[in-house]
Every structure is written in C-alpha cells, then in structure tokens.
Amino acid sequence: MTGSLERQFALRDAPGRADDSENTKWGHVPLRRCFRIVSGSTPSSAEPKYWDGEITWVTPEDLGRLSGRGISASERGITAAGVASIGNREVPAGSLVLSTRAPIGHVGVANVSLCTNQGCKSLVPLPGIDVQYAYYQLLARRPELERLGTGTTFAELGRDQLASLRFWRPEVQTQHAIADFLDRETEKIDTLVAKKQRLIELLNEKRSALVERVALGGLRGRGAGKSLGIGRATVPSTWAVRRARYVMRERDERSSDGAEDLLTVSHITGVTLRSEKQVSMFEAESNEGYKVCRTGDLAVNTMWAFMGAAGVAPCNGIVSPSYNVYRFLVQGEPRYYDYLVRTSTYVSEFASRSKGIWRSRLRLYPAQLLDIALPVPPLREQEEIVRYLDKQTSAIDGLIEPCRRSIELLKERRSALVTAAVSGQIDVRKYTMGMS
C-alpha cells in the first residue's frame, strides 16, 4: 500500500509500514502448498441412521451464524455411518472451514473435529502455517474469493480456483506476530462495536415501549381502561373496540402492466419503496398482476406477519401478489394503525393467528386478520398520537443513526487493519517491541 495508508484507513495509531525489502522475503505461493483441501458432502436425507448424530456437520448457514471465529457445533449433526456414506473423513480441530457457495467467503476455525456439506471446504494446515494468521488472511480476501466464483444458478468457488489462490506465507514467527497483533487490535474495535450495538438495542427498546404505551393507552392517561380482547391488553374506556372486519376490507386490485412503484413490507420499517432499500432477494422480470396498494392502505406481508411485517402505505404502488392489502372503511388517521400493527401486542397476536406447521411456513390469512380486535380512538386522538409519536421516535432515531454510522466506520477500519497486517503493509514487530 502507498504512503497514504494512514490517511486512507485512519490507522494513525498503528505501527509503521513494513520495509519494502522485508515484503520481498514473503512467500506468495498457491494455497494448495499451505493446506490440504477437503471437500464436503451430504448424506442421504432418506436414511435416518445418518442423521442427528454427535459429529459436527457444518454448512454455509452455520458459518454465517458464527458470532466469533470458533466452530464448536452445528445446527445439525451426523453419525459415523453418515460420514462413511459420503466417503469423507473428519478434519481435525485447528482446521479452517470456508464457505464456497451461497455465499462465498464465510470462514471459521474448527474447535472440534468435523465434516462439512458440499457448500464448504475444509483447509487442514500444513507445517509452517499458523491457522489464526490464515483465518485473518482469508477474512481479508473475501472480495477476491467472491470474484473467483463461477456459475449461473449460484456462484461457487471451485476446488481448482481455491487451490491456485496465491497465498501470502511469511515465516511462521511473523505469522504468529501478525495473528497476536490482530487479536489485540480487533478486540479493541469489536468491544467498541459491541457497546454501540448495545446502545442501539436499548434505544430501540425504548422506542418500542413508547409506541406500545401511547398507541394502546393514548396521551391522556388510561384511567379506567377496558379490555382490548387480546391477552391482558387494555385501552382507554372512551375508545371503541371493533373487529378488524368492521374497520377495514381486503383490496385485491391488480396492476395491468406492473409499471407502478414497487413497495416492500418489513417488520422494521413498515411499507417503503423498494427502490430506497438495498434488497438482494430475487426480483421478478415483470410485476404485471401485482396487487395495487394505495396511500393509506394497510399492507401485510402474509409470510412474515408473525414478525410484524405490516404497515400503512405512504404512497401509491404495488406489492407482491402473495401479500394482502386492506383499505380502511372508517374515517381515521391510517398512520395510527401503522404504529399499532408493529407493537408487541399485535405482533404476538399475528403470530398466534398465523397458520402453518413450522414457524418458517406461518401465514396470516385475511380471515384470521379480519377477526382481530382493533382499538378505534376518536379521530382527534389518533391525529394527536401520530404527531406525538412522530416527534418522539424521530428524536430517538436521531440518536440511533450516528451509532450506526460509527459502527460502519469501525468495521471499515477493522477490515483495513486486517488487510494491511496480513499483507505485510504494517510491520507488527515494531508494535510488539513497543509493548515489551
């Protein structure tokens, strides 16, 4: 890296760059000279004796869920018979596990002996390789690994491409020093990130509690409340309570050409323009036949309603045909219900009324939603509640956003630090000598 390293990555407190002559001493060799590469496989799902055993069987999903680098367990285990059926042997603790499809580049270090499915490859280090240093190097080179992936249905990093990857291999003592340096420095950054993430969690909890209290209790104090008909929830005695079928009706109007703005429905942000969000999910070639959703309509993501994926549309648009759209029959402030449907009271009610065998397959259909009780405060109170919540939640969001930006910058700094250290652009020996 050039002499602008400190300015570009804000590494002013890091040790100086390694001398160029020192960099030339580093080996840059094919990865196959540093590791034994072991491909994974999956036992037959039709054979019960292969499954739910004590042998850790790692998938890309397991790697994606790691909170650190160590792999000690997996979502599902296999038996010794399962291992034998796929013709693989377990790789020892201390091996690296790399996801090579869907997605490429998640990496972890095995704390136990394990096997993987075909979406991963295990890298058993050969003599002269520090596995912790190798972990950091693969972590830094994820963008490169992703670019090496090929395929039409999904990208996959093949064994040959991985084996040919040019791998930095300094002397093992240098590898140890780099790994120790990065352990210390990344721990400092991770501690700061964790504190800021905890602050965001607390602010979100405060926001949710505020919305819950005001949307169900109003601004004038509850006084003698009355039952809402949902668990132990109560509302002010002056408010009406009606079944949703008397408050709204399903709208099933279809787009003729799909040219309208596409809307998305989230449990976090409610209904928003898809163009304003970073969405990596599959998008249909044509939106013809999508459901029309007009300003003030309630849109419900039928598949994720049990998590609170519902809200009121801020503008005209269209939503997925698998969603449900409802127009309000009574005069009111629709945005009051935008706040209401994502309270914990209603998220729990949506979940209890959703149909399905597994949680991932739950669906909230119109018949169930329209049977739910809804509070109907006087229009003036609805408007007051919306104004109050807009002001208060905006203030809380104003505290959350700087924390999010700070976390992004810290993660960028962490990534830059790892890349600079594993590639020899920081001479960590100077840092080590300064600490001794």
Q: Which DSSP string do the residues of 150-201 spell out, in sequence order?
A: B-SSS-B--HHHHHH-EEEE--HHHHHHHHHHHHHHHHHHHHHHHHHHHHHH
In this predicted model, what pLDDT tens digit does every residue of 158-177 receive, in sequence order?
A: 999 999 999 999 999 999 99
Among residues 137, 150, 225, 180, which one has the least CA distance to residue 415? 137
pLDDT above 60: residue 197: yes
pLDDT at site 94: 97
In this predicted model, what pLDDT tens digit does every residue of 13-72 receive, in sequence order?
A: 433 444 443 454 687 899 999 999 999 999 999 999 999 999 999 999 999 999 889 999
Crossing angle of helices 172-217/379-422, nearest 10°?
Answer: 180
How many CA atoms are closer than 13 Å to the CA of 70, on its beta-carbon side? 4
**Averaged over 107-113, what is the pLDDT?**
97
In this predicted model, what pLDDT tens digit does every residue of 290-324 receive, in sequence order?
A: 999 999 999 999 999 999 999 999 999 999 999 99
How many CA atoms are closer than 13 Å to the CA of 352, on its beta-carbon side? 10
User: How many CB atoms lie under 10 A from the CB of residue 357?
Assistant: 7
**Averaged over 114-136, what is the pLDDT?**
96
pLDDT at site 88: 77
Residue 432's pLDDT band (cuts 50, 70, 90) = low
The string of DSSP codes covering 60-92 is: HHHHHT-SSSEE---SEEE-HHHHHHTT--PBP
* Structure-block tokens of residue 221: 């104090």
Higher pLDDT, 5 or 52: 52
Residue 275's pLDDT band (cuts 50, 70, 90) = confident
**Averaged over 348-370, what is the pLDDT?**
89
Among residues 108, 31, 124, 112, which one has the least CA distance to residue 65? 108
Question: pTM of the entire structure?
Answer: 0.79
pLDDT at site 223: 57
pLDDT above 50: residue 1: no
Contact 328, 248 (CB under 8 A): yes
pLDDT at site 224: 63
Residue 11's pLDDT band (cuts 50, 70, 90) = very low
Residue 360's pLDDT band (cuts 50, 70, 90) = low
Instruction: Provide the residue count of the chain.
Output: 436
* Structure-block tokens of residue 226: 């009355």
In this predicted model, what pLDDT tens digit does every residue of 373-427 receive, in sequence order?
A: 999 999 999 999 999 999 999 999 999 999 999 999 999 999 999 999 999 998 8
